[in-house]
Amino acid sequence: MNLIKGIHTMTSQRQSQLLSESQILLQAEKFIQEIIDCGLYPEQLTYFKFLLEQFELIYDIDLFYSDYLQAFIKLKLILDGMRYSPFQPIGSDQPTPDNYDFVLSLTPEQLQELLKQAQLCKNSIYTDIQQFQLQEVSNAKSLEEYLTKLFQHYARVLAVRVDFKYTKEAQQNINIEQFYQHFEKMRNRLSNQDTCFENLHGYAWAMEQGTKNSGYHVHLLLIYSADKHRRGSYLAQQVGETWVKLTEQKGAYFNLHNRDYINKLIMQGCEIGLGTLSRDVEGDLNKLLKVGLYLTKESKESQRLRVKTAKGMQTFGHGDFEKDRRRGIKKA
């Protein structure tokens, strides 16, 4: 019962702040996790009501939600049936309720039925997470092969890392469709390889949804020609400023070449796989792979997107290694 008490005491804190789409989805997922594991009790109904009201503000039938959220939607639809059919005859003049206040009066029998419906989703939830993990394994293998080919082809490369996110003020109003559209513009710039993407040998990216307050974000790895560029920090800054411009000042970024951040990694004994790396230096390939494979960690299940604009929406990608189009490779 400690979990229930904890949920009850946090309800007022959660209700006092305006939630973003990302936060609503995360809290709805956690709620389903908790009731499947520990049950559904009257002490949780105030928070449940709050979540239902918040979820209704962002729910879009045309989007594709994770199986945890499908379970939440299932409960919402059951309650909507009660909400819009409040046991009155057809043609009654009584208005239908326009809120979820009635949830506070659900009977123990009704709570048990809701719990039963949520628990029926356990298998699909497990399968959903397992599929994500398997996809991450596949992504990691593909990325490792891609980076290895790039590294072995060029004598020296410049590895650059930058993360895209949103300002705290903008996060409140950013939804998955806007996030997708913003990064689609950035992907087009990557393909064009102009301005800050000139002399780019390769790239990899991952779209994620952070826990707590980080919201929707992107991890981006860029592989430049070390013969044409030397300042990874400057390039990361230029790419970050491009993101800010494409998002009409809603975007923010983190430059992983930040001196304080690098010094912190060094103090922790971490190898630094950023900057100039050479195929003639033993260990440099492993450094690059370690930096790159962070984008595809199987353990990053908590960072996966909970909603997509399409069922097959791509959340990870990298460039193509086509030998015929690369310098120094003769066609057969």
Q: CB neighbours (10 Å) of residue 60? A: 13
DSSP letters of 96-134?
PPSSSGGGGG--HHHHHHHHHHHHTTHHHHHHHHHHHHH
Q: Which pLDDT score, from 0 to 100, does residue 266 have?
A: 83
Range from 34-48, 124-138, 139-153, 291-305 carrying the lowest mean pLDDT: 291-305
Q: Which pLDDT score, from 0 to 100, does residue 17 have?
A: 63
Q: Helix 108-119 and helix 67-84: axis angle, to 10°?
A: 150
pLDDT digits (tens, 9 = 90+) for 92-135: 455 556 789 999 999 999 999 999 999 999 999 999 999 999 99
pLDDT above 70 for 305: yes
pLDDT above 70 for 87: no
- Reported confidence tier of residue 263, pLDDT bands at 50, 70, 90: confident
Range from 7-21, 69-83, 120-134, 229-243 carrying the lowest mean pLDDT: 7-21
Q: Which pLDDT score, from 0 to 100, does residue 159 have?
A: 96
Range from 175-189, 242-256, 286-300, 316-330 carrying the lowest mean pLDDT: 316-330
The residue ranking higher by pLDDT, 84 or 67, is: 67
- Reported confidence tier of residue 9, pLDDT bands at 50, 70, 90: very low
pLDDT digits (tens, 9 = 90+) for 26-56: 999 999 999 999 999 999 999 999 999 999 9
The correct answer on CATH 3.30.70 for the domain covering 140-320 is: yes
pLDDT digits (tens, 9 = 90+) for 240-260: 999 999 999 999 999 999 989
Show me where the domains of the chain are located.
2-86+97-120, 140-320
CB 63 within 8 A of CB 307: yes
Q: Which of 172, 165, 125 is nearest to 22 (CA)?
A: 172
> In sequence order, which residues have a C-beta less than 8 Å from that of residue 193 and are 6 or more positions away?
199, 200
Give pTM, 2 decimals. 0.88
